[in-house]
Structure formats: C-alpha cells, structure tokens
Amino acid sequence: MRPTDNINRLIKKLQLKASADLDRRVHNDISSALAESQKTESAHSKPNIWRTIMKSKITKLAAAAVIIIAVFLGMYFVGNPFGSNVTFAQVVESMKKARTIHAVGYAPQDGQMQKANEIWYERGVGIKLAERYKEKEKEEERVVIDNGQWRWEYHQSDHFAVRNKSLGVDDLPREITEPSRYLDKCVRNRTGDMVIDGVLCELYVGSYPNRSDSTRLMYWIDQERRPRRFEEKVLENGIWKTIELGQVEYDIAFDQSVFDPNFGQGVDTVNGPDFDSDLGAGVDIADVAEVLAAHFSLEKAIFTKEEMGLIFAVHELKRCQDDLIFAVTSLRPSEQTLKDIESKDPRARNYGYYHFGSCWERNDGRDTSYSPIELAWISHGGLVVKWIVFVPNGFEAGQVTQCKFDLYYMTEGELAKKRKEAGLPDRNRIKPIATLPLPDEQVSLENLISRVYDVLELLEPIVAEDQLTLKEIPFTDEEMEDFTKRVPSDGITTEWKAGNKSVRLWHGQSKKPSQINKDTWAEDRLTYIQEKQRQ
C-alpha cells in the first residue's frame, strides 16, 4: 500500500456532527431568506420567452449582422399622429378565437437571423415552447411542454426533464401575447403594409416607453386584428438593427405528438417541487430503477425467501392503530432465473405474481386470521411490489404481536413455461411463508396510506400504463345506482336499496393517482378498512 493511502484513509475517518445550534441558525436563515425572495418574486411579472431571447448573448453577439438602411426606416416611421386603431386587448381577444397558433421567433446570430424559439399552442390540448440560447458561451436548449395534465421543463444540459402539474392549456401563453403588449403605443404606418401567408397585413410602429429614440417596434396586423409578424429594432451607431423577428400562423394543423414529452434518448423524468413530500431520502428522484433499487432492495429487506425461481420479500412491517398491520412486500426473479430467461424490454419482463391469503387458523378453539387489503401495486422490470394492510381477526384486543404471511404465488411467462416443460409446479401456496414479529412502536395508518399515494404518483409517469394501480376505489353513489340497474338480483343491490350506503365500498375499480384525488382515495381506503374491521 502506498503511504498516501494510509494518510488518506486516516483523514477520511475525520467526522464531526454539525451542532443543533448551527442547524437552528441555518434553518432560520433558509426560512427567512426564501420567504423574502418569494415576496420579491411575486412583485415581478414572469419573464417571457421573447424577452429571454433578447437578453441572451446570441442577440448581443450578432446584433451587428442585420442592417436596415436608416433612410428606408425613415419611411416606415412617419406615423399617424392620431394614434393606433388596434389595441393590445383587441389583439388578444382575436388571438383567443384561434384553435391553434404556431409562432417562430428569430434572433441574429453569426450575421444571420436564425430560429431562436418556437411555440405551438392548441386550445384545450397543449402548449409547447422551445428555445435556444447561450449560457456561458455554450448553446443551450430549453423545452417546456404542457399537455393539460402535466407540465415538463427540459434543459439540454440537465439530461432530465422536470415534471410539475399543468398550468392549464385553455388560456393563451404569455409568450404568445406578450410581444403585442406595446401595440397601444403604436401608430398606423401605411407605407409598410405587407401580404403575409396571402393575407394583407397593416403595419403599426412604435417604441418602448422612454426609449423612443433607440427602439422601434413594428407589428403587422391582419384583417382579423391578429399579429402576423413582429420586429424589434435598436439604433446602434446611427443604424437600425433587427434584434428580434417573430412570425405567427393561425389555425394550422399540427401533429398532436408535438405535446408528447419526448426529450430524446437517455433523458429521465423527475418530479419537481409540486411533488415535494416526505417520502424519505432518494424517493424524489423519479428514475424508476433508482427508486425501486433504493426502496425495495433485497439487502435491506426484513425477510426474503426464494421459491420456484422467485424471491418473495417483506420490506416494511408496521404496527398501526387498532391492531392494524401495514406491510410493503415484493416478488422478483432470482439471479438464476434472470440468467436463464433474458429479456431486454423491461416492460415485457414478467416472471410471476402473488397475492395473500388470510392465514386462517384454529388454535385452542379460537379462529384467527389476517385479512389482507391491498392498497396498491406496481410491476416494473419483473419486480412486483404490493402495499398491504392486514386486518387481524379473532385476536384479543392488544394481543397481536406478529403477522403471518399466507402467500399464493404463481410463475408466469417464460418461467412458467419452462417449469411446466420440466414437470415442475408453476404455482404454490405457502401458509405461512413468514411469521414476523411486529415492532412495538405504533405509527399512523393515515400517514402510511398518504405515503403510498405519493410514491405511486411519483412513479406513474414512468411505470407502464397498466402496471401501476391504486387498489379498489369504491363506487360512487352514481356508479352504485348504475350497478343496481345492471345487476338487480345482487345481494349488494338489495342492501343498497334498503339504505345501506356503505355497501358501495364492496364494489370498486382500480385507478391511477392522476385519476383520483389523494384525500378521496385515502379516506375511501380507511373507510373500507374500518368496515372490514367491523365485520
């Protein structure tokens, strides 16, 4: 071993803990500083894409490129002294009538006007903004997509896209309307009218307030009072230079896939601050492999058992109020199974499935069982995870000290096929596969259920469509009414008609977090569990 290795090893042993006093000081500073910055931020308007581009170095670097002869411009700027007859408000109202809008912005770069940003908008369907700019001399691309449910933001250098809740897709994005903000200050100039896309457009010219000598804003407005073209010029050394050019099209058809969050190969999706919640370390990275590895690793499991080429594991076991038991369990292929059966597509990997029995037993004249109630499950890359609440029955109050896991499990896909071919059983029941002591500490079931929802919400965008589910969402009153018409002879229908409203809990359907509100789901699950306890 080299001498430096010994020294380095020794130095790495140095470890101090920050004091509670330092924690208090820093946390106080974080609270007060960010509260202050939020106040300041709310006092400012949101920057728009056009202004962002104008602030970028692309503009500054290449502003010298486009030269418009001052005399020619002089012709443009002989305005109407009686002012504009098109207002910003009118323009926005007219733009709102369009079903789709497509805008492209250009900025000078390397002596030419080059595309700097592009916006797609389809009312009620989606918004996409794409822009290129320079950051520390490096080309950077930013893409924002909002499909009405989610809003993704991607920066090329980040290698991941951040997902947040949609900001809505009914209203026009500011990035489209904002360039026309100063139209009210413009005047009609008949010398510059132009035919754009076969439509005669009238020119309006003006400038920013207090910068009338150095800036020129030019708008070409069509007969429906919608802007078709926009230019901004600045005066530099006696020459007017175009620093921004925008062109807008209306009601054209574009492919719906433009609103799909495809940011290229190797780009992960992560959840943004809208999804902040107490999920524990590592969970806020929505890379499914990382989340699954962090939370459902066999190394950290409290119980594992291999059977039929599959490994069953218990990852969490909690004692909750009223003797309820909460468990997180999983099933996955063993190393040998993975070697025997290769599949490159994680969504096609399907090795086995499982569900729980009640582990009914008769001991000393007493019947005991642990009724399982599934909260949720996911399946990804061969790993199946289930979140379960067990309702113990037949025990004296306060006498539930352990949980028995009664497991039905079956191989599937290639593994099942191979086992059958080899004359081996492809399914089994082990009662119990595990008897695990419960921890003494009691935790809130409400909190655990809330956490399950958060984890599934986090995973929803990246786990295959049909492989992530919050378990049975009970019927609504309307759905129950419908059920009674379809199945009039069902016993539950009779109960319902007799006024027993709680029977709607026994019929339900699986949903995804995006399809149901967290509080509604949690309340329904808790009610269902309470009903089970009463039985």
Partner 1 sequence: MLEDKLLVWKFNRGSKDALRHIYEKYKDDLVTLAAALLTDVSSAEDVVHDVFVRFIKSSQRFRLTGSLKGYLATCVANSTRNRNKARQKYSSYGLDKTDAPASASNGPDAAVIFGEELRQLTSALAQLPYEQREVLLLHSYSGLKFRTIAVSLGVSINTVQGRYRYAVDKLRSMLNVEVRK
What residues make contact with partner 1 under the rule CB under 8 A?
1-4, 6-8, 10-19, 21-23, 25-27, 29-31, 33-34, 37-38, 41, 135-136, 158-160, 162, 268, 270, 272-273, 276, 282, 284-285, 287, 290
- Minimal distance in Å, beta carbon 218 to partner 1? 33
Q: Which residue, 198 or 266, is less far from partner 1 as judged by CB?
A: 266
Q: What is the DSSP letter of 97?
A: T
Instruction: Quote the tokens at residue 423.
Output: 């004359």
> Is 206 or 461 the residue whose CB approaches partner 1 more closely?
461
Torsion over CA of 147, 150, 153 and 158, rounded to 10 degrees?
A: -130
Which secondary-structure segment (H or E) carries 416?
helix 413-421
What is the smallest separation between the CB atom of 516 and partner 1, expressed in angstroms?
A: 25
Number of H helices, E strands in the chain: 14, 25
Q: Which residues contact 316 (CB under 8 A, 6 or more apart)?
A: 302, 326, 327, 328
To the nearest whole angstrom, how small is the minimum distance from the Cβ of residue 382 to partner 1?
23
The residues that bridge with 227 in the sheet, in sequence order, are 221
User: Which residues are CB-neighbours of 507 under 8 A, at least 6 positions away?
Assistant: 474, 475, 479, 480, 483, 492
Given the complex with partner 1, which of 12 and 485 has the nearer CB atom? 12
**Closer to partner 1 by Cβ: residue 209 or 273:** 273
Query: Least separation, in Å, of the C-beta of 108 and partner 1?
Result: 25
Helices (H), 460-517: 477-486, 491-497
Query: In whole angstroms, how close is the CB of 20 to partner 1 at the nearest point?
Result: 11
Cβ neighbours for 302, distance < 8 A, ≥ 6 positions apart: 314, 315, 316, 317, 436
Measured distance CA(451)–CA(317) in Å, rounded: 14
Length of the chain: 535
Question: For 55, what's the count of Cα atoms within 13 Å in the CB-facing half-sphere?
Answer: 8
Q: Sign of the C-alpha dihedral, residues 271, 274, 279, 282?
A: positive
Question: Least separation, in Å, of the C-beta of 458 and partner 1?
Answer: 12
Partners of 460 in beta bridges? none
| Contact (CB, 8 A) for 115 and 105 | yes
Minimum separation from the CB atom of position 41 to partner 1 (A): 7
Q: Which is nearer to partner 1, 12 or 344 (CB)?
A: 12
Cβ-based nearer residue to partner 1, 159 or 362:
159
CA-CA distance, 152 to 164, in Å (whole number)? 6
Give the residue among 178, 243, 249, 186 at the shortest CA–CA distance from 218.
Answer: 186
Nearer to partner 1, 103 or 270 (CB): 270
Decide whether 159 or 366 has the Cβ nearer to partner 1. Answer: 159
By CB atoms closer than 10 A (0-12, 13-18, 19+), residue 294 is middle
Please report, for residues 100, 125, 134, 282, the alpha-carbon distance to residue 226 in angstroms, rounded to integers and kept in the order given.
Answer: 13, 21, 31, 49
Q: Which is nearer to partner 1, 135 or 236 (CB)?
A: 135
Instruction: Give least dist CB 167 to partner 1, A.
Output: 14
Amino acid at site 469: T
Q: Are 439 and 316 in contact (CB under 8 A)?
A: no
Q: Find the shortest distance in angstroms from Cβ 131 to partner 1.
A: 17
Q: Which long-range contacts (CB under 8 A, 24 or more apart) does 68-76 make?
A: 68/233, 68/239, 68/240, 68/241, 68/242, 70/238, 70/239, 70/240, 73/216, 73/233, 73/240, 75/191, 75/192, 76/189, 76/191, 76/192, 76/203, 76/205, 76/216, 76/218
Q: Which residue lies nearer to partner 1 by CB, 270 or 433? A: 270
Distance between terminal CA atoms of the chain? 68
State which residue, 162 or 492, has the beta carbon closest to partner 1.
Answer: 162
Beta carbon nearer to partner 1, 22 or 252: 22
For the bound state, the minimum distance from the C-beta of residue 11 to partner 1, rounded and expressed in Å, comes to 4
Choose between 161 and 416: whose C-beta lies nearer to partner 1. 161
The least distance separating partner 1 from the CB of residue 27, rounded to whole angstroms, comes to 7
Which residues have CB under 8 Å from 170's CB, separation 6+? 123, 124
Contact of 121 with 106, CB cutoff 8 Å: no
CB of 5 to partner 1, least distance (A): 8
Minimum separation from the CB atom of position 510 to partner 1 (A) = 30
